[in-house]
Structure 1
Amino acid sequence: MSDPTEKPLQKSPPKTVEEITAKNVRSIVELEQASQRATWGDRLAVRINDACGSMTFLWANALGFAVWMTLNTIILPQPWDPFPFNFLTLVVSLEAIFLSIFLLIAANRQAEVAERRNQLDLQINLLAEQEDTKGLHLLHLIARKVGVEEEGDPDIAVLEQATDPETLVDQIGKIEEEVENSRSTP
């Protein structure tokens, strides 16, 4: 058994640009691998969607319909599906239903992957914002220490404040509401 007071082993922080880049690439690869971990149904839907979203599938369908209609109108003396091709209509309708279901499954899977990437982007952007705010604050302190005069720029004090994501969400909501209200008001 391990000692509960023992600290877990921590990886040493990256020391070179190559180590930082390798860490970032590893994170992206892990994200991609996580997006590949799908159920067999999801993988099947993506494969079917890829195959059916091709020009080959389009031409195969066009050729199949042309052969079907030609056989049932010109060639066969006793057609199995005479004009107006009720059985062909059934087959095409079923094909459309299943293809649209596969398309929706694949689209949902892609939306999940996109959401994961958006969350990663958001976290990186928030971290970058925090780093920028801290860097601006430190730069301001250094400038003051070496005697660089400030020219009374009011933006500096505002930009040194940390960005609060909840406040931004509230502001976006209020502005969207104002814009929507201004559009509906003549």
Structure 2
Amino acid sequence: MIEPRHGMGATLRQNIEDLTTRQREDTERAPLSDKVADRITRFTGSMTFVVLHLVLFGAWISVNLGVIPGVPRFDPTFVALAMIASVEAIFLSTFVLISQNRMAATADRRADLDLHVSLLTEHELTKLAGLVERIADKLDIRSDDPAFAEIHANVEPVQVLDALDQSRKEKGID
């Protein structure tokens, strides 16, 4: 059993552990190509990568400008350097896109989970409001709050999406 720490209950801590375990399992099950793309993207997004390029390109440029005496120029027009940099940019952008696509898919899954949990919560709260109203009726307690009537209506997600789409169209968004 998980003990509550830092003001979090056992259920919340268990949920965190379950989701962390699931994320680790998903990462382990990812295809080799995704793992390679993620590692490359992680490295190319680091300061080590920047420093490495500063050193390599700086040395290349220095040699080919003739700044370093005794070292022969091998690319005085920098055509080879430009080609290497272009090819590298093509591959790096592809690796970044692969990683972004995977991250977008993960974000979509999380958004779906969030939507389903929210809809379930809303449904449960609607049922609970009905139960509370029946208890209030039994005890002869009346509520004059007109907003209370809204609590009894289940939210229809498709209608909400349609209303959001219509609102975005009216505001010129999308």
TM-score surpassing 0.5? yes
1:59 is displaced (CA, Å) by 1.0
1:22 is displaced (CA, Å) by 6.8
| SS of residue in 2 equivalent to 1:180 | coil
Distance 1:77 1:178 in 2: 67
TM-score under structure 2 length normalisation: 0.84
| Paired residues of 2:129 and 2:152 also in contact (CA < 8 A) | yes
Q: Partner residue of 2:169?
A: 177
Match status 1:101 vs 2:98:
no
Identity of aligned residues (%): 34
1:175 is displaced (CA, Å) by 1.6
1:35 is displaced (CA, Å) by 3.1
Match status 1:155 vs 2:164:
no
Q: In the alignment, which of 55, 73, 79 is matched to residue 79 of structure 1?
A: 73
Distance 2:104 2:128 in 1: 35
Distance 1:135 1:157 in 2: 13
Distance 2:118 2:127 in 1: 14
| Paired residues of 1:35 and 1:113 also in contact (CA < 8 A) | no
Q: Match of 2:53, as an amino acid?
A: N
Match status 1:67 vs 2:59:
yes
1:33 is displaced (CA, Å) by 3.6
1:112 is displaced (CA, Å) by 1.2
1:77 is displaced (CA, Å) by 5.9
Match status 1:112 vs 2:105:
yes
| Paired residues of 2:63 and 2:73 also in contact (CA < 8 A) | yes
1:27 is displaced (CA, Å) by 4.5
TM-score under structure 1 length normalisation: 0.79
* Long gaps (5+) in structure 1: 1-16, 182-186
Distance 2:71 2:129 in 1: 86
Size of the aligned set, in residue pairs, is: 162
| SS of residue in 2 equivalent to 1:168 | helix
Deviations 1:20-76 (A, max 9, x none): 557634642454145312110100000000011001110110111110111122235
Distance 1:171 1:137 in 2: 26
Q: Partner residue of 1:140?
A: 133
| Paired residues of 2:63 and 2:72 also in contact (CA < 8 A) | no
Q: Partner residue of 1:39?
A: 31
